[in-house]
Structure 1
Amino acid sequence: MKRVQWLDSLRGIAAVLVMIMHIWEIIVLKYADQYNPFFKEITNFLVIDFFNFGKIGVAVFFLVSGYVIPYSLKGKDLKHFAVSRLFRLYPAYWLSIIIFISIMGLPPIIQLIFNFTMFQKFFGFEDLIGVFWTLQIELVFYFICALLFYFKKLDDSNFLFKATVLLLFATLILSFFRFYYEIKLPVALPLGLSIMFIGLLIRDIHDGVERVKKKLDYKIIIYFAIFLLPICILAYNKDYGFHETWYKYFLSYMLAVIIFFLFLFKGWTNRFTQFFGKISYSLYLLHPITALIITPMIINKYPILSSPLWFTIIGIVLSVIIATLCYYFVEERFVKIGKRLINKYR
């Protein structure tokens, strides 16, 4: 129970960090003239340019997935795993798409169809909502875990250690070609997967699983830091439209690892962060709609509310309310349906 609680708290904080970063980006654009230039630059530097709250949150999510998802296969078969993941991920995801198109209108039908699969990027179609990119990496990780489970490698920590190093090496090679040819190659995919594998290895070490050899210890974190620096310098030295700077990526990902370890060893949790942990997936999916689309509509309709403070309050409150409704009326209910189906055909 303690493990679940600190993980929930960590998920909640990660979702809030991503939301804060996105809200701040809009506020800076919308109310640039209302901020003291020095204050704006300092805040921008801390939230977006030096440490990036969004990247910290995403990296934490990846570590949590690596820590949790492979263990959800224990005592189950692949059919049960697939059903549980389907009912966990897709209903809220589809709802976010429905809400988005109801506000913004229909995109090209072919783009909409592929977005419903969650694999749109792999077929060359843009995400309808920007945060969808991380979910595709999550799905690839699920497929890899399923394959490793099938071939009985998910319990082989020596193999997983080598696989993680190989992923980091592949990311470094991809980063080199991205740097040399100035092509926006998908470095985030192998890097995100390697972070998830690190989460899995940390789980094994922390739980004291017998198959983990002591010589491995936490050496994987040293490998990660050694590989991450040149990866970030090579892959994120040029701005491809997302304000890339190598130090921002390096510092954000390393801080995410530090935050994860603090929660792992300290077990930090409280009811407030646990609540945000419960609604974290819905909050992650829906805040781009509620905070970045609906909130500006409200502000434009009621100019008296046009201020950075009101924008922040409305954006956060509305996001939390909609995410809470989505969790209790969609997420929770479909998870229960998935469990009933699994038990029925067991």
Structure 2
Amino acid sequence: MNSIKNNRLKNIDALRGICVLLVFFTHLSITSWFVGRVGVAAFFLVSGYVIPFSLQEAKGARSVIYFWVKRFFRLWPAYWLSIIIAIILMTPIASEISIKGILLNITMLQGFFGVENVIPVYWTLQIELCFYFLICMLLFFGYSKNEKYCTAFIVFFIVVYFSMALSRYYMGIKFPVAIPIAMGLMFFSAICRIRRINGQELPIFLGALLLISLVPTCLFAYADITKPGEGGAYYIVAYFLAFFIFIFFEKIKKVPEVLVFLGSISYSFYLLHELVIFFVRKYFLEMTAPLEFFGVLLITIFVSWLSFFFIENPAQSFGRKILNSLKNRYPVILGGNYTQL
């Protein structure tokens, strides 16, 4: 735990730790999908809170390039490791996917080409990439931390996801409503960070508008889901819980160090936990439920720490060296806060 950098936002890291555990519990079949949905929605709120602020005030093409250099060395190395492990373990998807599918998965863009994810959790990364592209657009013009533009995006995405929900309900067109919902959540948390930096109150009215808009959206979009424990009402509760959990952790100062530690390794944990579950259930079939839970959890924490220590940290250090070299050659105002996803 001592390796965690002092410039990290510990309360946000702790929230990451909570999020990844919620997703883990769902995939281990300890809880329903609903709990995992809370974790995923809160993850999106975390991304909006930190990603636009990984660079200080800057604009132009160079800033966009520097942004992607940081994101590349933050995301892709550990992501590639998870693909390699999935192929070695011959998970059901990895054993059937084509070479073309593997190559597209390597890019992290497979979802945009209708190709199946080697590991199911990758779907959230593609939503993250959509947010990155929008942030880069704002960054290019110097508006990535401008509350008015973030608010405009929120209003735009409210209109988009509500329209999609109506289309799903009345026309049966399965629009991916989760994408604009996630965009709205991320831009809302970006405004929360802007307000926090400026010493202002959180945007209560905007948050209320966002939550209220999600009620009819979820009821219309998921009206066709009749499976017990699912459906629009459960999505509403999940988004509301994620929202209030985020607000709670955004405000608190002291958090358990164990959650901070889990948050620091949460990206590798998120990528690898399904592989650990698959491995344990394939080779240790006779384990009792409590033993399986603690065994899978401890193994996942251990392999995630290994990935963090030997893959994530070195990759990000190398990325920082490249950034420093670029800054020396092409000066631009850059931030030194390498807050992680």
Q: TM-score range by the shorter chain?
A: 0.7 to 0.9
1:190/1:265 Cα in 2 relative to 1: closer, same or farther (>3 Å)? same
TM-score after normalising by structure 2: 0.87
Shift of 1:127: 1.0
Residue 159 of structure 1, aligned match among 149, 173, 176: 149
Kindly state the Cα deviation for residue 319 of structure 1 after the two structures are TM-superposed: 1.0
Deviations 1:208-236 (A, max 9, x none): 26xx8x8x942111111111001110111
Query: Amino acid of the residue matched to residue 207 of structure 1?
Result: I
Q: 1:125 to 1:242 in 2, by over 3 A?
A: farther
* Cα pair distance change 1:122/1:335, threshold 3 Å: same
Displacement of 1:122: 0.8
1:132 aligns with 2:122: yes
**Residues 222, 231 of structure 2: 8 Å contact kept:** yes
Q: Is the 8 A contact 1:184 1:240 kept in 2?
A: no
> 2:322 corresponds to which residue?
341
* Distance of aligned partners of 1:295 and 1:343 in 2 relative to their CA distance in 1, 3 Å threshold: same
| Structure 1 partner of 2:32 | 48
Determine what percentage of the aligned residue pairs are the same residue. 34
Higher helix share: 1
Write out per-residue CA displacement over residues 88-140 of structure 1, whole angstroms, 9 at most, x where no aligned residue: 00000011001001111362111111111111111111111111010001111
Q: Is the 8 A contact 1:111 1:126 kept in 2?
A: yes
Match of 2:233 among 221, 242, 247: 247
- Corresponding residue number in structure 1 for 2:140: 150
For the Cα contact (< 8 Å) 1:101–1:107, is it kept in 2? no
- Do the aligned residues in 2 keep the contact of 1:237 with 1:244 (CA within 8 Å)? no
Q: Which residue of the other structure, out of 280, 284, 290, is the alignment partner of 1:299?
A: 284
Equivalent residue pairs, number: 314
Q: Aligned equivalents of 2:228 and 2:47: distance in 1?
A: 25
Q: 1:92 to 1:322 in 2, by over 3 A?
A: same
CA RMSD of aligned residues (A): 2.0
Q: How does 1:78-97 map to 2 (within 5 A)?
A: 78-97=64-83
CA distance in 2, matches of 1:228, 1:53: 18
Structure 1 residue 180 displacement after superposition: 1.6
Partner of 1:271: 257
Moved over 3 A (4+): 240-244
Corresponding residue of 1:31:
none
CA change 1:226–1:266 in 2 (3 A) is same
| Structure 2 letter corresponding to 1:72 | S
Report the secondary structure of 1:229's partner residue.
Answer: helix
Between stretches 117-126 and 83-92, larger displacement belongs to 117-126
Partner Cα distance (1:116, 1:54) in 2: 25
Whether contact under 8 Å (2:16, 2:262) holds in the other structure is yes
Structure 1 residue 242: deviation in Å? 11
Structure 2 counterpart of 1:5, from 6, 10, 26 = 10
Residues 14 and 58 in structure 1, CA contact (< 8 A), matched pair in contact too:
yes
1:68 corresponds to which residue?
A: 50
Q: Indicate whether 1:256 and 2:242 are aligned.
A: yes
Gaps of at least 5 residues in structure 2 are 1-5, 328-341
Indicate whether 1:313 and 2:289 are aligned.
no
Q: CA deviation at 1:267?
A: 2.2
Q: Is 1:328–2:303 an aligned residue pair?
A: no
> What TM-score do you get using the length of structure 1 for normalisation?
0.86
Q: Note the residue ranges of structure 1 that are not aligned, 5 or more in a row.
A: 26-46
Partner SS for 2:115: coil
**Residue 212 of structure 2: aligned partner:** 226
Matched residues in 2 for 1:324 and 1:207: separation? 31
